[in-house]
Amino acid sequence: MATVISEVADICRAAKRASRELARTDSAVKDAALEAIAGALQARMPEILEANERDMQAGREDGIGEALLDRLRLDEGRIEAIARAVRQIAALKDPVGEVIEGERLANGLDVRKVRVPLGVVAVVYEARPNVTIDAAALCLKSGNAIILRGSSVAAHSNAALARIAADSAVAAGLPDGCVKLVAGGGREELAELATQTGAVDLIIPRGGEGLKHALQAVATVPVIYAASGNCHVYVDASADLADAEAIVINAKTQRPGVCNAAETLLVHCDIAGEFLPRMLRSLGEAGVLVRADERALALAPGERDGGSASPARPAVEAAGEEDWANEYLALTLAVAIVDSVDEAIEHIGRYGSGHSEAIVTRDTAAARSFQLGVDAACVYVNASTRFTDGGEFGMGAEIGNSTQKLHARGPIGLRELCSTKYLIEGDGHVRG
């Protein structure tokens, strides 16, 4: 009987063989494969929903929590959205072969720098079955073979989706092995995947800090970390308060269990007395528990006498040091008052994860200072952090949001899944 290690190695070798053919595959063939995948998602929706319900039922029995259940859940609307994203990716320009720059050198050589596929991309992810298709579509369009490793929480959903993607892609003319799923093993399987140097060209983990640390301990293959999001909204002294209220509610409550949801609200002291009481009421009406610093706590409406929360008496508690660095992924928000935009920048620099940060302001100088001073993949002025998404950025979808600075930063789309190659043409040139 084959061991897990040999199975993983075999999968990686098969993907490597497929990647060599994919690198030479015409755009039309890749696009037809994506269209086939989108059509199969719709045609085989009952199969997907049945598999997902098995995962959902197991998740309920295991008590995994509402935020994780929301990530796991598929319904007809979400599957239709996944299929639309695949078609959007198919409609995008193929990045492979794109000339980034080119010139004729003084010696007569013609030099072009072009985009080329990375080769084999492994995506390791937790609890979000939609990543199975998003990642597969992006990798295939950019000429890469993909190895998928989802979590056991979504085992049935991922298996069904990966099977549909692989079957459809191969039937449409892509090489066998272009979409592979690694499943059934534990941490030793992850370690084996992360050390497939020569077969796997890049690993992208999409999950929490535990997954990140597990890979950091063992990976010999290059890694782009699509890491967690401790995102902030800072309401400046000059902010339009109605806009600020709407942005905060959207950033926190539109989908709290995702990495681009806001986890901390910072408010300038000059407008805190006017803004915070109304903001806290709105958060209370939305069911948000607030963890506030001492100054913000003093502005909470109603008496904090241990009674139940209501719109007049929102749920507000004293924040501890641990709250400022916490990615809640739930209807909980840390709130602090700051004395300047510089203090807001300093707070974000100390506690933020480099994902998405926002300022609400009508002061151009404050906005510019925030844009230059905040070190994050995405920095917003007068907009919600919830827009950090490959689909919203016109990429069709994304594999994750990179918070590191080398190669790719921000949403990882088609171009971020490519490397570059120099093509040099001469006419009998030799170097003297």
Percent of the chain with pLDDT strictly greater than 90 = 82
Mean predicted lDDT score pLDDT of the chain: 93
Q: List Cα–Cα distances, 149 to 152, 155, 180, 257, in angstroms.
A: 9, 9, 9, 21
What CATH number belongs to 4-226+399-425? 3.40.605.10
Answer left, alpha or beta for residue 108, where phi above 0 means left and psi between -120 and 50 means alpha. Answer: left
pTM of the model: 0.84
What does the longest C-alpha to C-alpha distance in the chain come to? 87
Question: Across 65-69, 97-101, 127-131, which has the greatest mean pLDDT?
Answer: 97-101
Amino acid, res. 107: N
Domain ranges of the chain: 4-226+399-425, 231-387
312 falls in which pLDDT band (50, 70, 90)?
Answer: low
309 falls in which pLDDT band (50, 70, 90)?
Answer: low
Point out the least confidently predicted range of 93-102, 390-399, 418-427: 390-399
Tokens, residue 241? 């308060």
pLDDT of 6: 60
Full DSSP string of 411-425: E--TGGGEEEEEEEE
Taking alpha carbons only, the member of 80, 73, 83 closest to residue 34 is 83
pLDDT of 258: 87
Average pLDDT over residues 158-184: 96
Neighbouring C-alpha atoms within 13 Å toward the C-beta of 156: 16
What CATH number belongs to 231-387? 3.40.309.10
Scored b (16 or more CB within 10 A) or e, 323-345 reads bbebbbbbbbbbbbbbeebebbb
pLDDT at 2 over 60: no
400 falls in which pLDDT band (50, 70, 90)?
Answer: confident
Residues 216-269 have pLDDT tens digits of 899 999 999 876 799 999 999 999 999 999 999 999 999 998 899 999 999 999
Residues 353-367 have pLDDT tens digits of 999 999 999 999 999
